[in-house]
Amino acid sequence: MLTLLFLGDIVGEPGRSAVIARLPEWKRDWQLDFVIVNGENAAAGRGITPKITIDLLRAGVAVITSGDHIWDRKEIVDFIATEPRLLRPLNYPAGAPGAGTVVLETPKGKVGVINVQSRTFMQPILENPFPLLDAAVEEMRKETPVIVVDIHGETTSEKIAIGRYLDGRVSAVLGTHTHVQTADEQIFEKGTAFICDAGMCGPIHSILGRTIESVISRFISNLPAAFPIALGETRLHGVVVEIDETSGRALRIRRIDEPGPADLAPAG
């Protein structure tokens, strides 16, 4: 059995510091074999930098997925082509830097990861993910039956549709982007684990990781505003998935909602 941890969107310095601090303990206590995090908001809440990527990988993360903010830090454009463990959505047009898939070796066999972005209410509008997923999964299954898909998107319906579409062909379809953990974790009939959104790793007394006052002010005034990262207590959200490494079928999925280390929580 292969035990995999998937963490939802890391938000800013509070989120990434909490993840880095807790990961060694979790790897030991939960006997983790593979760790995936969504890092597209890890740099001050928008984008990711080469340094943050390296810090997360050194902390024990195997693969970093992303989404619509992947290009927000311009230095990532050249870097992503040099680091195959940092993924951008698969459905960018041909010629985009980087890749949307990766297969890595583990002591329990190979694990494949696919990063894809949905289209409903998302910007930019990317290529249709369904045929691209067909091709990517077919190719990846030549190497391994253990495949995890990060579906980065806004609507539950589109995420569920992709999960159902891939049921039995991948081990897990795990949603990101909304920063709110859903309670619909399940294993579909043909053996694919699913959750609409894994949640967020970041400040809990916030609005999606940003200061409460700034976001409320924007809703009231409709005027442009900066959204600083909130401070204080952090929570780490995600799922642990247990997978039969021979068949690729998911055996169990459970949500996690864990506190960040107390000594990393400055007063808000």
What is the number of H-type helices and E-type strands within the chain?
6, 13
Q: Could you tell me the CA-to-CA distances from 149 to 14, 193, 267 in Å, in that order?
A: 26, 10, 36
Separation of alpha carbons 116 and 118, rounded Å:
7
Q: Is 60 exposed, middle or buried (0-12, 13-18, 19+ CB in 10 A)?
A: middle
Other CB atoms within a 10 A radius of the CB of residue 242 amount to 16
CA distances to 9, 57, 157, 198 from 257, in Å = 13, 22, 24, 10
Catalytic residues: 69
Closest CA to 5 of 234, 199, 224, 137: 199
Alpha carbon distances (Å) from 192 to 85, 97, 217: 23, 30, 41
Select from 36, 44, 1, 2 the least CA-distant residue to 19.
Answer: 36
C-beta of residue 148 within 8 angstroms of C-beta of residue 174: yes
Cβ atoms of 128 and 153 within 8 Å: the answer is no
β-strand 250-259 against 234-243: which pairing, if any? Answer: antiparallel
